[in-house]
């Protein structure tokens, strides 16, 4: 079929997208905004795309004001700093974690303005390791008023619920704070959010330090993996909001009796 | 001379390409739902929904829709996902029965069941007492979401305004007697219909069969209560909201088992400190392999149900 020959080069050529490198300097998500994001948030340091940095997203966006995101860079070992960046959100920078004595891991919920790449940039020394995935979503979230009038539970503002689990070689901390995360982008609702959150041991040594930004969802709900402190039977949480109010809470640490392994095995039989 | 041959060949190639063009842009053809009615009982037809999530490929036609012939006209159980679907459904019902559509019962507010109702006269559309208000409040978001997911299938779709309220009791249409049972659990208002003359039971989305149940607006405790009420009805055939029509209580039992499984898994994950995306990845029991979209619906259910546990059951701390 000679008349097909002009098309042959296109038929035989593999798709360029399929060959995107999993590790390198080219953005695997092909986002036009990435160079600006890198310049703005990563400074002059070198950035490499690295599969050791995993961003885990749900298969579908159920609620754009509460999208669950997990950043897991435990494959890198330790890290100095973790940033979460959503290229196409009005406020791209979502969260900053300094895992002083904690795993480079954080799970949280965020608001999404539209479909966007969601990235984690994990700094080890002078190099950023960047991982990410594209999240599909419609409008709403940051600047579109919520469907049902948002109810703020003012009476329990700052109420903190949390629990610590003992895992094999560290702790697992889950916490939920009752607090709006108002971005200041809705008419007549000024910026009002939890800005800083830290986890310390009983002696006051900081294990993890977080800066939360506007995209973090209302009633911040987080999972962190701090190291087991040498001393003390509790972790101390300290949060500060944009009004300067400080909230503190004490979370007891359960004794290290391999409590994570035993019930996990037992759970299989229950179903 | 040689050059001339090449040019003619190239011209031939171009000509062939040009003739192929009208057939290439298949997407440009008007979208049409291939409604395939199956006669499940004398003069009663069900149009099966695809056992899939709502996608741009299926246009949202994932729920079962039923047409019943009566001496007064056609009665429909649910209206489908879009105006386009409703229009095709109306034509189909008129062709099958040879009569106009006199009643469209909407079982609950979810888009795949109600948005086709705009194709019917509002005076013939009937829903539970809360449906009209709920549609007024949340209908635009319902259609927005559907436009985004299903795209052009949704063209012309608005928010239905049911003109009738279906209260508990019996509504007689022609020779058929529709017993109306207001239940809840899948959503805050699930209208169940039992057609007494034929023994057909329409539980809406309170019953899924061979397809994982959805929980965006679910109250599992009330849902279990509703399933118990449904189990007491001595039916001849059960038409689930999604899945095959059959006699017996397999759908009721399976839906209950799925709810129990999902709740137990999420409860277990919560008690082990898992966050949403971690819990989504935990294994499901083997029996769920027979359910369509089990993994997908489980992931959605984690997003629906885990936050409530966090709000309620994480220990409340006292200030340090």
| B221-241 per-position pLDDT tens digit | 999 999 999 999 999 999 999
Residue corresponding to tokens 């100095």:
A80
* Min Cα separation B261/chain A (Å): 7
The more confidently predicted of residues B26 and B75 is B75
Torsion angle, CA of B295/B301/B302/B304, rounded to 10 degrees?
160
Q: Let me know: does A72 contact A56? Beta carbons within 8 Å.
A: yes
Chain B residues whose beta carbon lies within 8 Å of the beta carbon of residue A112: none
Q: Let me know: does B31 contact B59? Beta carbons within 8 Å.
A: yes
pLDDT for the residue numbered B1? 41
pLDDT for the residue numbered A271? 32
Chain B residues whose beta carbon lies within 8 Å of the beta carbon of residue A263: 271-272
pLDDT at B12 over 80: no
* Out of A70, A161, A221, closest to residue B277 by CB: A70
* Min Cα separation A252/chain B (Å): 9
Most B CBs within 10 A among A4, A6, A10, A60, hence the mutation to make, goes to A60
Task: Give the model confidence (pLDDT) of A164-209 as tens digits.
Answer: 999 888 999 999 999 999 999 988 899 999 999 999 999 999 999 9
With CB atoms and an 8 Å threshold, state whether B318 touches A236: no
- Strand-strand pairing, A194-200 and B200-202: unpaired
- Coil, strand, or helix at residue A228? coil
Q: Which residue of B has its CA nearest to A57?
A: B277
pLDDT for the residue numbered A6? 41
Interface of B with A in 256-315 (CB under 8 A): 261, 264-265, 268, 271-273, 275-278, 280-281, 285, 296, 299-300, 303-304, 307, 310-311, 314-315
pLDDT at B57 over 60: yes
* Min Cα separation A59/chain B (Å): 7
Cα–Cα distance measured from residue B87 to residue B132, given in angstroms and rounded to the nearest whole number: 21
Chain A residues whose beta carbon lies within 8 Å of the beta carbon of residue B299: 58-60
pLDDT at A129 over 60: yes
Chain B residues whose beta carbon lies within 8 Å of the beta carbon of residue A70: 275-278
With CB atoms and an 8 Å threshold, state whether B275 touches A236: no
* Out of A69, A138, A159, closest to residue B145 by CB: A138
Sequence-separated (6 or more) residues with CB below 8 Å from residue B86: B79, B80, B115, B116, B117, B118, B119, B120
Torsion angle, CA of A133/A138/A139/A140, rounded to 10 degrees?
-90
Mean per-residue pLDDT, B33-48: 97
* Out of B13, B148, B311, closest to residue A176 by CB: B311
* Min Cα separation A126/chain B (Å): 30
- Coil, strand, or helix at residue A119? strand
Roughly how many angstroms between the first and final C-alpha of chain B, as a whole number? 95
pLDDT at B55 over 50: yes
Task: Grade residue B19 by pLDDT with cuts at 50, 70 and 90.
Answer: low
Task: Grade residue B159 by pLDDT with cuts at 50, 70 and 90.
Answer: very high
Q: B255: which 2 tokens?
A: 């839906």
Chain B residues whose beta carbon lies within 8 Å of the beta carbon of residue A260: 272
User: Chains A and B: how many Cβ contacts under 8 Å?
Assistant: 116
pLDDT for the residue numbered A62? 86
Task: Give the model confidence (pLDDT) of B85-96 as tens digits.
Answer: 999 999 999 999
* A271 secondary structure, DSSP code: -
pLDDT for the residue numbered A167? 87
Q: Which residue of B has its CA nearest to A55?
A: B277
CB burial string B128-167: b at 16+ within 10 A, e below:
bebbbebbeeebeebbeebbebbeebbeebebbebebebe
Gyration radius from chain A CA atoms: 21
Sign of the CA dihedral B54, B55, B60, B64? negative
pLDDT for the residue numbered B10? 60
Q: Let me know: does A48 contact A21? Beta carbons within 8 Å.
A: no
Among A222-236, B28-42, B196-210, top mean pLDDT goes to B196-210
pLDDT for the residue numbered B128? 96
With CB atoms and an 8 Å threshold, state whether B275 touches A174: yes
With CB atoms and an 8 Å threshold, state whether A250 touches B138: no
Task: Grade residue B24 by pLDDT with cuts at 50, 70 and 90.
Answer: low
DSSP bridge pairs for B63:
none
With CB atoms and an 8 Å threshold, state whether A247 touches B141: no
With CB atoms and an 8 Å threshold, state whether A109 touches B276: yes
* Min Cα separation B209/chain A (Å): 20
Confirm or reject contact between B170 and chain A (CB < 8 A). no
pLDDT for the residue numbered A10? 40
Chain A residues whose beta carbon lies within 8 Å of the beta carbon of residue B148: 138
> Of A100, A122, A107, nearest to A227 (Cα)?
A100
* Out of A221, A237, A270, closest to residue B264 by CB: A270
With CB atoms and an 8 Å threshold, state whether B315 touches A162: yes
* Out of A3, A59, A165, closest to residue B299 by CB: A59
Cα–Cα distance measured from residue A67 to residue A90, given in angstroms and rounded to the nearest whole number: 16
Chain A residues whose beta carbon lies within 8 Å of the beta carbon of residue B212: none
Query: What backbone phi and psi angles, to 5 degrees, belong to B205?
Result: -85, 15
pLDDT at A143 over 70: no
Query: What backbone phi and psi angles, to 5 degrees, belong to A79?
Result: -150, 160
Task: Grade residue A17 by pLDDT with cuts at 50, 70 and 90.
Answer: very low
pLDDT at A3 over 50: no
Cβ-count burial of B2 within 10 angstroms (0-12 exposed, 13-18 middle, 19+ buried)? exposed
Task: Give the model confidence (pLDDT) of A219-249 as tens digits.
Answer: 999 999 999 998 789 999 999 999 999 999 9
Query: What backbone phi and psi angles, to 5 degrees, belong to A38?
Result: -65, -40
Average pLDDT, chain B: 92
Q: Let me know: does B197 contact B177? Beta carbons within 8 Å.
A: yes
Mean per-residue pLDDT, A4-32: 55
Task: Give the model confidence (pLDDT) of A26-84 as tens digits.
Answer: 899 999 999 999 999 999 899 999 999 999 999 988 888 899 999 999 999 999 999 99
DSSP bridge pairs for B211:
B292
- Strand-strand pairing, B37-41 and A234-241: unpaired
> Of B144, B130, B234, B140, nearest to B183 (Cα)?
B130
Chain B residues whose beta carbon lies within 8 Å of the beta carbon of residue A160: 316-317
Q: To 10 degrees, what angle do helices B250-271 and B220-231 make?
A: 160
Task: Grade residue A25 by pLDDT with cuts at 50, 70 and 90.
Answer: confident
pLDDT for the residue numbered B2? 47
Q: Other C-beta atoms within 10 Å of A77: how many?
A: 10
pLDDT for the residue numbered B318? 78
Chain B residues whose beta carbon lies within 8 Å of the beta carbon of residue A221: 275, 307, 310
Task: Give the model confidence (pLDDT) of B167-185 as tens digits.
Answer: 999 999 999 999 999 999 9
Query: What backbone phi and psi angles, to 5 degrees, belong to B3?
Result: -60, -40
* Out of B145, B285, B319, closest to residue A248 by CB: B319
Q: DSSP characters for chain B?
A: -HHHHHHHHHHHHHHHHHHHGGGS-GGGSPP-----EEEEETTEEEEPPPSS---TTTTT--S-EEEEEETTEEEEE---SSHHHHHHHHHHHHHHHSS-EEEEE--SS-HHHHGGGGGS-GGGEEE-TTHHHHHHHHHHHHHHHHHHHHGGGGTT-------EE--SEEEEETTEEEEEEEE-SSSS-EEEEEETTTTEEE-GGG-B-SBPPP-TT--HHHHHHHHHHHHTS--SEE--SBS--BSSSHHHHHHHHHHHHHHHHHHHHHHTT--HHHHHTSPPPGGGGGSBTHHHHHHHHHHHHHHHHHHHHSPBPPP-
With CB atoms and an 8 Å threshold, state whether A263 touches B271: yes
Cα–Cα distance measured from residue A192 to residue A182, given in angstroms and rounded to the nearest whole number: 5
């Amino acid at each position: 079929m000679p008349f097909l020959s002009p098309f042959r080069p296109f038929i035989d050529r593999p798709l360029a997208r399929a060959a995107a490198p999993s590790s390198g300097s080219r953005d695997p998500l092909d986002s036009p905004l990435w160079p600006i994001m890198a310049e703005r948030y990563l400074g002059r340091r070198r950035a490499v795309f690295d599969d050791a940095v995993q961003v885990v997203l749900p298969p579908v966006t159920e609620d754009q004001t509460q999208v669950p995101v997990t950043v897991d860079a435990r494959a890198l070992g330790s890290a100095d700093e973790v940033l979460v960046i959503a290229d196409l959100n009005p406020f791209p920078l979502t969260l900053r974690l300094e895992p002083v004595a904690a795993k480079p891991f954080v799970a949280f919920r965020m608001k999404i303005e539209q479909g966007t790449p969601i990235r984690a940039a994990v700094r080890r020394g002078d190099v950023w390791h960047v991982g990410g995935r594209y999240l599909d979503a419609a409008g709403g979230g940051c600047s579109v008023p919520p469907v049902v009038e948002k109810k703020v539970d003012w009476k329990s503002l700052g109420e903190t619920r949390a629990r610590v689990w003992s895992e094999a070689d560290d702790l697992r901390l889950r916490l939920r704070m009752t607090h709006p995360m108002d971005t200041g982008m809705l008419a007549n609702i000024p910026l009002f959010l939890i800005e800083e959150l830290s986890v310390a041991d009983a002696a006051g040594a900081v294990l993890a330090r977080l800066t939360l930004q506007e995209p973090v969802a209302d009633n911040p709900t987080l999972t962190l993996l701090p190291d087991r402190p040498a001393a003390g039977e509790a972790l101390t949480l300290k949060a500060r909001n944009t009004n300067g109010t400080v909230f503190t809470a004490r979370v007891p640490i359960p004794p290290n009796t391999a409590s994570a392994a035993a019930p996990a095995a037992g759970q299989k039989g229950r179903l | 001379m040689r050059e001339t041959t090449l040019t003619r060949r190239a011209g031939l190639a171009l000509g062939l390409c040009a003739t192929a063009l009208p057939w290439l842009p298949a997407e440009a053809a008007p979208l049409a739902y291939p409604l395939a009615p199956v006669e499940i009982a004398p003069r009663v037809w069900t149009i099966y929904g695809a056992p899939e999530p709502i996608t741009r490929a299926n246009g949202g036609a994932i729920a079962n829709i039923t047409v019943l012939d009566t001496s007064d006209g056609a009665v429909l159980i649910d209206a489908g996902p879009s105006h386009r679907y409703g229009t095709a459904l109306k034509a189909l019902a008129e062709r099958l029965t040879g009569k106009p559509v006199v009643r469209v019962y909407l079982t609950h507010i979810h888009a795949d069941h109600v948005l086709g109702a705009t194709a019917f006269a509002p005076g013939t559309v009937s829903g539970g007492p809360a449906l009209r208000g709920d549609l007024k409040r949340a209908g635009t978001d319902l259609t927005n979401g559907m436009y985004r997911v299903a795209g052009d299938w949704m063209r012309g779709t608005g928010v239905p305004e049911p003109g009738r309220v279906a209260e508990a009791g019996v509504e007689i249409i022609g020779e058929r007697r529709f017993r109306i049972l207001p239940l809840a659990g899948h959503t805050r208002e699930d209208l169940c219909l039992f057609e007494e003359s034929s023994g057909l039971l329409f539980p809406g989305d309170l019953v899924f069969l061979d397809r994982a149940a959805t929980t965006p607006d679910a109250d599992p405790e009330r849902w279990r209560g509703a399933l118990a009420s449904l189990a007491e009805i001595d039916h001849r055939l059960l038409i689930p909201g999604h899945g095959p029509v059959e006699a017996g209580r397999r759908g009721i039992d399976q839906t209950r088992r799925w709810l129990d499984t999902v709740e137990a898994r999420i409860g277990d994950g919560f008690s082990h400190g898992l966050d949403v995306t971690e819990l989504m990845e935990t294994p499901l029991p083997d029996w769920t392999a027979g359910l369509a979209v089990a993994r997908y619906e489980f992931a959605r259910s984690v997003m629906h149900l885990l936050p409530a546990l966090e709000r309620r059951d994480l220990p409340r701390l006292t200030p340090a």
